[in-house]
Structure 1
Amino acid sequence: MTQSRYAAVVAEVRDAVSARTVGLVAGVLLVQLAFIGSYVGAFHDPVPHQIPVAVAGAHATRTADGLVGLDGRPLDTSVTGSATEARRQVEHGDVAAALVISGSSKHDTLYVASGGGVSLATAVGEVVDKAEQSQGRSVATTDLVPLAEGDARGLTGFYLVIGWLVGGYLVSSMLGIARGARPATRGRALVRLAALVPYAVLSGLGGALLVDPVMDALPGHFWALGGLGVLLVLSSATVTMALQVLFGAVGIGLTVLLFVVLGNPSAGGAYQGEMLPGLWRTIGPWLPNGAGTSSVRELVYLGGDVSGQLLVVTAYVVLGAVVALVAAPATVGPRHAASRGSRAGQA
């Protein structure tokens, strides 16, 4: 190839592939590698970490001290006054399990709640069974809060939350692609935010409709789940819009990083937070993915208080909306004004 021909090819490549394009491709590569690293890092070696367990019955204090002193501290034990109170704590999600020590035999009882997390119930059962055998005792496990018949492995709530969050950031991304990542004015930003509300309502109620009366996977909680879904859709939609206003098209990649790369593996779906490594265990409750998944379990199975989780999700909705409005231009910028003038001249 002659030097002039080579120079022509290089010039053609530079013209076709801009520095901005190279930067975007590099960004996609980084997100992809972060996706692999986050999911594999979270799930490749799940280990129990301070799972809350109540202990009741004969020699409860001594047993609790022995369990909390196990290598790696897989359990975090507390002593409760009676077997009845221990059962109540499990049924309401205050603890993941309860061990009741028999005073008349070497056969004890472990109460678990698979509805609060299958991986937790399984892990506690394995740890306690091994500890009991080392003391020459045996344990029988009773599931006080079993999964609904249509909720295999207890993953329905997790996938429901993912579906809502995906819908939220997709609709916000599509609006950005169709009308520009950055709204021309603050008024336009307000209109775009308002347009997200009916979508969130339809999406939230639609998801609840599918998992409750249609598929009977999480029966009997239509309105509670629907309301949660509306908030979750709005949380990802408003945050996506805010990131687009701040960073343009790059904001979509940041959304994927937040809700998919970090949010999904830390949400407590396949493995609950106590089974995850430190990073994912720490950030899980503070992201809509984790707060939403925990809320579904509380609403459907444990009947617990979800005010803390709802506060987290609502904070994302408010923060996303406020940032989107504040960061949007107060008036039409020169570029948009010129575009308007051009269209008016053509008319």
Structure 2
Amino acid sequence: MGTQQVSAPSRASSRVPGRVTAFGVIHVNAVHTSRFTIVGNHLAQHRELSLTAIGLAVHIQSLPDGAKVGIKVLADRFPESEARIAAALRELEEHSYLERTLVRLPGGKLVTRTISYNQPGGSQAPTAAPRPPAEPTRTASVPATPPAPAAELETAELPAPEAAPPAATVAEPAPAPAPVPPPPALPPPPLPEPQSPDLERHRVATDLLAGLRRDHPRLLLGERDVRRLAPAVVAWLEREATPDAVRHALTTGLPHPLKQPAALLAHRLASLLPPPLPDLPVPDVIHPIQDCTGTCKRVFRAPEPGLCRDCRREARARDDTEAPPAADAQAQAA
């Protein structure tokens, strides 16, 4: 009989002791004490979000306040293209995990403010963290001395009691700073007004606004909004902007989702109003070609036929030489 191999294990050991399963994932969880983010299963196991959108939402939730989360910044950080990142951001907006709004700064610059929600529909402002309970005050204990014999108590003086050390105090954590409210939104700029009434331009402006929904169904305007925005379009037409140019300025780069189409068109009509075209320079007058009536028969340009410049100079010199002196002229007159 062969010798029994006592060093070989009787069965294969499990990599996870105490947890054996036939199939599926096995979790090995470690307790995080720093640098971690809490993510709800409603996001991690979302049925309608793509895997790119879920990963992007987790990354945004892990960033500190004030971090940049623009499309170009995220495209430089991850291997996905700008188109995939933009589509993922739109998914998160549709499912209320993100909110992106345009905010006008005091200097007039427009910036995008992004708000990330770890719970869809959440709008609560962050509250201060609860203050941990203060530890009890600890004092130093003085060990008791054994009582002296009665004979010694009569003659020996009692020692002065030692001063108790000061109680150890526990520093309380500073309260969390209050959340800074966002800057107040500036009032929208006024709509431009036409310089003079023009029924034909007003008709073109009304047809342009009412017909935007043919190419962009999201730009469906009510009749009241069309009447309110038509004078602003007339102001563009007065400045020699063609209807196609106005339509291109109003429909290019529409945000998604578009919640208030009339407010967006009013903002673009007021902020993108083109300046008036400068006056065209007056062209130089070109005179017709004339033949000199003098002896040179030179060709020159002049409004009427006559002498050329050289012949006029010779005629003036000839008149000066043939004229009598002033004294002779006075004598002849006398």
- Determine if the TM-score, normalized by the shorter chain, exceeds 0.5: no
TM-score by length of 2: 0.23
Bigger Rg, which one: 2
TM-score by length of 1: 0.22
Which structure's residues are more often helix, by fraction?
1
